[in-house]
Amino acid sequence: MKRLSLTLFCFLSLPLLCQHIAARAEGKIVFTSSRDGDREIYVMNPDGSKQTNLTRHPAEDFEPTWAPNGKHILFVSTRDGVPDLYLMRADGTGVRPVFKTLRHRAEPTWSPDGTQIAYVRPDKNVIETATSTGVGAKQLARIDWKDAYPTWSPDGIEIAYGWGRSMDIYLINVYTGTVDVLLRKQKYIMKHPAWAPAGDKIAFVALEWPRGHVGPLRVDDKMTLYVTPRDETSVRHLVKERIVNHPTWSPHGDEILYERKEGHRTQLYKVAVTGRGNPIRLTTKGNNTDADWFDAAALPVAPKASLLTTVWGEMKQP
């Protein structure tokens, strides 16, 4: 009788469980929007629905990025007078500064285990790393100016970043300091690297240098979206649109978010990595930038030790 009751309970509960998993699996996109008059942090569903303001603050809030476990959002704010890094819970509550001392810090990225962050110091023209609690800051690399947008590789070994006037993408080993240049032998003007979740590909914004061109070249209105394997064996032009910026991969690696400038506004789009189908527009109001996508369903079924926030123990046997 107990076995029959248990079977019946599982049978009746299965549809509810499936609904719960389906609801959770869609994930959330966090992004910056100016639709309220200043830059604020918003979240939305991956189809563009339920766009919600999280910060609602008169200061400028921008450049959000999800913690690897999705529980917090790291972002930049001017609420204390200088652009610096702040943390808040995923619902927008509990805002607090990361560092005790206020400095100009921007363009943050998380290490995949959530224990460290990297960011740009525009006042020093460097990329620094520190713990996610704001301790142990140290210089990692020099840059030309602030638009480096460092991004940590999923295996935690490398950070990709842009290099100012040369418009190259560099990859630095965070343990050895060894630096490589992406697509060194090909003539691309590049910026805004983004690692695929598996770490096997890098998306970036670029313009292929016109054959035979000599002299200055205006690039901002010509750059578009490319993808290359980490081993650089090929380069694929993903979208034909121009004036594209800031690619971000979906958690499952099958889509890429990007910004597209349309007149005086910037909107968010997503496109399948296969290139099939038309890009889908997700925003319409104000300027929308700095998108980042989190989905708990994309996390490993067996939790990584680095992502655990609970001490696990053996279950007591009766």
Does residue 21 fall inside a structural domain? Answer: no
Closest to 31 (Cα-Cα) out of 266, 244, 313:
266
- Is 3 among the domain residues? no
- Classify residue 306: in a domain, yes or no: no
What's the pLDDT at 221? 66
> pLDDT value at position 183?
94
The domain that holds 282 is classified in CATH as 2.120.10.30
The answer to whether residue 307 sits within a structural domain is: no
Residue 242: partners with Cβ closer than 8 Å, 6 or more residues away:
221, 222, 223, 224
Domain assignment present for residue 257? The answer is yes
Provide the residue type at 67 as one letter. Answer: A
Do residues 73 and 41 touch, judged by C-beta distance below 8 A? yes
pLDDT at 220 (0 to 100)? 63
Considering only CA atoms, which of 26, 49, 65 is closest in space to residue 195? 65
SS3 305: helix
Does 105 map to a domain? yes
For residue 147, the model assigns a pLDDT of 82
CB 297 within 8 A of CB 250: no
Note whether residue 125 is domain-resident.
yes
- State the pLDDT at residue 275: 82
Contacts of 193 (CB under 8 A, 6+ apart): 149, 151, 160, 161, 162, 169, 182, 202, 203, 204
Residue 217: predicted pLDDT: 57
Residue 64 φ/ψ, nearest 5 degrees:
-80, 150
Q: Are 48 and 31 in contact (CB under 8 A)?
A: no
Strand order, beta sheet including 188-195:
188-195, 201-208, 224-229, 236-237
pLDDT at 126: 96
Ordered per-residue pLDDT tens for the chain, 318 residues: 445 444 444 444 444 444 443 334 479 999 999 999 999 999 999 999 999 999 999 999 999 999 999 999 999 999 999 999 999 999 999 999 999 999 999 999 999 999 999 999 999 999 999 999 999 999 999 998 768 999 999 999 999 999 877 789 999 999 999 999 999 888 888 999 999 999 999 999 998 775 665 556 566 667 899 999 999 999 999 987 888 999 999 999 999 999 999 989 999 999 999 988 899 999 999 999 999 999 999 987 544 444 444 333 333 333
For residue 98, what are its two tokens? 């990361």
Domain carrying residue 280: 27-297
Residue 315 placed within a domain: no
> What does the chain come to in residues?
318
**Domains: count for the chain:** 1
CB 38 within 8 A of CB 59: yes
d(CA 94, CA 226): 38
